Chain A
Amino acid sequence: MLEKKIAGYSDEISVAPGERIRFMVSCEPGVDRYQADIVRLISGDRQPSGPGYRDELLQTSVSGEYPGRSQETYCGSYAVVPDGPAFDALSDLSLQAAIFPTLPALRRACIISKMDIEAGCGFALWTDPADGLVLQLGDGDGGLREFTLGQALVAREWYLVSATYDSSSGEVHLRQQLLDSYARDTSSGEVKHDSKGTAVVRCNAPLLIAAASREEARGKPVGEMIFNGRIERPVVASRVLERSEIESLRSDAVPRGLRTDICAAWDFSRAMDTDDIIDISPNRAHGRLINLPIRAVRGSNWTGDELDFNHAPDQYAAIHFLDDSLYDCEWDADFELEVPADTPSGLYAARLTAGDQEDHISFVVRPPRDRATASLALLIPTASYMAYGNSRGGIEFGNELLANHLAVIGPEERYLNRHPEYGNSMYDNHNDGTGVCYSSRLRPLINIRPTHHWLWQLSADMHIVEWLEAQRIPFDVITDEDMHQDGVSLLERYSCVMTCSHPEYYSTNMWDAVHAFTQRGGRLMYMGGNGFYWRVAYRDDKPGAMEMRRTEDGSRSWASEPGEYFMAFTGEYGGLWWRAGRTPQSLVGNGFIAQGFDHSSYFRRTADSHDPRAAFIFEGIDDEIIGDFGLIGGGAAGLELDSASRAYGTPPHALTVATSEQHTDCYIRVNEDIGHMLLSIGGQDDPQVHADVVFFETPRGGAVFSTGSIGWSSALFHNDHNNNVSRMTRNVLDRFLDPTPFA
């Protein structure tokens, strides 16, 4: 497969027996038919030294051939307000908004529109790369009249823009005023035109903010010519407003004297935890946002005195629209599965094949919702899958300095690059440079595949699944989203919960559930590195979407703007959990300290490992060196490393039973742990650059075992599972499944 041509997604990520899950598939030309089957995933790593791909067919009604078809995706965010009586009085017209264009030179972009192009009626206000503000008015006869201001806008500056049309005099008045003040500003200005004929501004089309539209699809107008940047307090009025009146509408209430003439005045600072935009005029012409534009962002009047939008919402009355954001592809379903009642819990996929083409749309079958069917639960980090899903770093930058070797680009990366409309990962930037703070699983996530050559998240977690299968240990599979929704009651059904290799992103519900589980006698095996690091938020009314802000510090590919550290979904402070007073070290004994992506290293046993409390971990192991082998970088201590630290909250009685050493200089300490910049931050010089394997007992007979390294699970397969990493993991698991309380 030199060219990938088929991909899909599902509407659910975790389903119980008896429940339904739908699968949406799109094929590029050349794939006329494909075979679909439901399979239980056993292993995925296809590199020559790896276990290879294995699955087991589940007999379901899904198995069969399906016609391949291309399905359209409409990305880009905008708002839609239905036509209604609010706009009946339009004959004269005033439009206004504060705008912060981020890509004004890219192409013409629409600030606000209500236009029936075929009939030639309505209005649209644009930014133009050369001419700045542009007003289009329908001529009532199938045509448009266009009036330009003639001065280009500067990117990333706030402007108050307005356009008025006087139907009796025919005068059109355009104004754009820079809200900051610069000497030699040439971007502010105003101009008056004679419309030379009557315009028809009333039309039946819906009103769009940040987009224009010529067609409908899937029951709503398709946004085009989307505005990149921020729009604040857009207003539509049915008479020509004076400059003082335009200024007065920049507040969070419509002045009494203007209430008869305002068609709509949207205050984006309201209902920020929804997709609604609220009209504060008496007409209440509310609208809906499409494709997750960014809310809770600074407005034109942000002073810097208040950093939390909850405390000063009027300073956060802007929305940041983007031409490449996406919530839901909204494809038609190709097939649906009703999970058979006797389906064992596990990690499954819809396996799609067509000649040399394949795709795996993975999902979890959780146990029946009222019970566990095993003593062990494998916790699939779906929040982290969503954060990394559709990461474009490989194809766009090569990530060569991160890895210290040439990047390998597979058909999957080139396919993703052919489909920018599938949206970005939370490691990417939008087209206008803004960091991606929302993700969704209602779209193909091209790198979240069990066989992806980049062994990261699901493809790396398959090493754990493969090991559990080989050990013949019964296990249920549950997901982050299940835990977020069900809380600790879901975890409490199990003697032991095992994480995957990189459970980095945690919502408050998820963190609370894991913490309560460890405090109530549960046994937790944290099988990875850099876990419990970033705080994320879900929204109950927005299934499959997730928010995150990259605040203050942390190992990150972009940074949130100052004053934008609180998440619109929940109002919670975003960023590192550490900055919210909850360190990974306090939860699992170790926390993120360094990363590198060239060579992995090994662990050496410590004096603590000979403590009688740790004897069960090393039963049958005489080696001092642990894990000097592995399928990622050649060692169990690799990629992202966690170390123990009393200062950061590692429990005082915790045992550090093994410590890694001899990391390369590609491994560098995380920036949040660096005060002054010193020469010694690389693995060869900085003793802090190491991973710790940590064990400690928790209240009511519980315990935690943390491997401290993403690379740990890549070592399980070595020598047909006969190795000291596999043995340690098995020793711990056997003891953690034993109900005998820890002291």
Chain B
Amino acid sequence: MGNPMGPHSAALQRIVTRMRDTEAAGRYVLVTRIPYQEWGLAQLSGQRGVDVTLLEDQVFTSLEDAERAVFKMRWELITGTPLVLD
């Protein structure tokens, strides 16, 4: 988690790739709130013409923090348990 933008080890990249390879509908994206400064988490609709769904409680001031947060959310979604790091 110290280098969320990569490059990652081959093993970690394999996990990250699996996490990123989701259906378009519901895929997490970052929506600009203040250009180059602040982003909100959102989910794609997967349908042309239908806006993203903003997750109002998830706001980030760095892209790295956003990657970490989404990694944790996806980890919990896939494994069913929260990610606990030493």
Contacts and interface: CB of A to CB of B under 8 A. Distances in A.
Given A400-B27, A411-B32, A599 B6 contact: yes
Given A406-B29, A406-B63, A665-B10, 19 more contacts: A2-B32, A48-B36, A396-B24, A397-B44, A398-B24, A401-B21, A405-B5, A408-B39, A409-B32, A409-B52, A410-B31, A410-B32, A410-B35, A411-B32, A414-B31, A414-B51, A418-B49, A598-B7, A664-B7
Nearest to A421: B49
A417 B51 contact: yes
B29 A407 contact: yes
B49 A405 contact: no
A409 B30 contact: yes
A727 B39 CA distance: 36
Given A397-B44, A665-B13, A414 B52 contact: yes
A47 interface: yes
16 contacts: A46-B36, A396-B44, A397-B44, A398-B27, A404-B6, A405-B63, A406-B70, A408-B31, A408-B39, A409-B31, A409-B52, A410-B31, A453-B32, A598-B6, A599-B5, A664-B6
A392 interface: yes
Contacts of A418: 49, 51
Interface in B35-74: 35-36, 39, 42, 44, 46, 48-52, 63, 66-67, 70
A599 B8 CA distance: 11
Contact of A408 (B10, B27, B32, B48): B32
Contacts of B32: 2, 408-411, 453
B28 A2 contact: no
Contact of B27 (A46, A392, A397, A664): A397
Contacts of A188: none
Contact of A404 (B20, B31, B35, B42): B20
A395 B28 contact: no
Contact of A417 (B5, B35, B49, B67): B49
Interface in A335-368: none
Interface of A: 2, 46-48, 392, 395-398, 400-401, 404-411, 414, 417-418, 420, 431, 453, 598-599, 664-665
A398 B24 CA distance: 7
Contact of A599 (B7, B16, B29): B7
Contacts of B49: 417-418, 420
A414 B32 CA distance: 10
Interface of B: 5-7, 10, 13, 16-17, 20-21, 24, 27-33, 35-36, 39, 42, 44, 46, 48-52, 63, 66-67, 70
Contacts of B33: 2
A453 B39 CA distance: 13
Closest 10 pairs (CB-CB, A-B): A400-B20, A410-B32, A407-B29, A420-B49, A398-B27, A408-B30, A397-B24, A409-B31, A664-B7, A398-B29
A555 B70 CA distance: 29
A599 B44 CA distance: 25
Contacts of A598: 5-7
A412 to B, nearest CB: 9
B28 to A, nearest CB: 6
Nearest to A414: B51
Contacts of B51: 414, 417-418
A406 B30 contact: yes
Contacts of B44: 395-398
A48 B38 CA distance: 13
A395 B44 CA distance: 7
Contacts of B16: 404
A408 B67 CA distance: 11
A408 B20 contact: no
B48 A47 contact: no
A598 B36 CA distance: 17
Contacts of A48: 36
Nearest to B50: A417
A420 to B, nearest CB: 5
Contacts of B5: 405, 598-599
Contacts of B30: 406-409
Among B5, B20, B50, max chain A CB count under 10 A is at: B20
A429 B22 CA distance: 19
B17 A401 contact: yes
Contacts of A664: 6-7
B74 to A, nearest CB: 11
B13 A431 contact: no
A665 B70 CA distance: 22
A420 B7 contact: no
A408 B29 contact: yes
A392 B52 CA distance: 13
Max count, chain A CB within 10 A of own CB: residue among B7, B33, B42: B7
Nearest to B34: A2
Given A405-B67, A453-B35, A431 B48 contact: yes
Contacts of A411: 32
Nearest to B21: A401
A436 to B, nearest CB: 12
Interface centre among B6, B21, B66 (most CB of A within 10 A): B6
Contacts of B46: 396
Contacts of A2: 32-33
Contact of B20 (A396, A401, A410, A431): A401
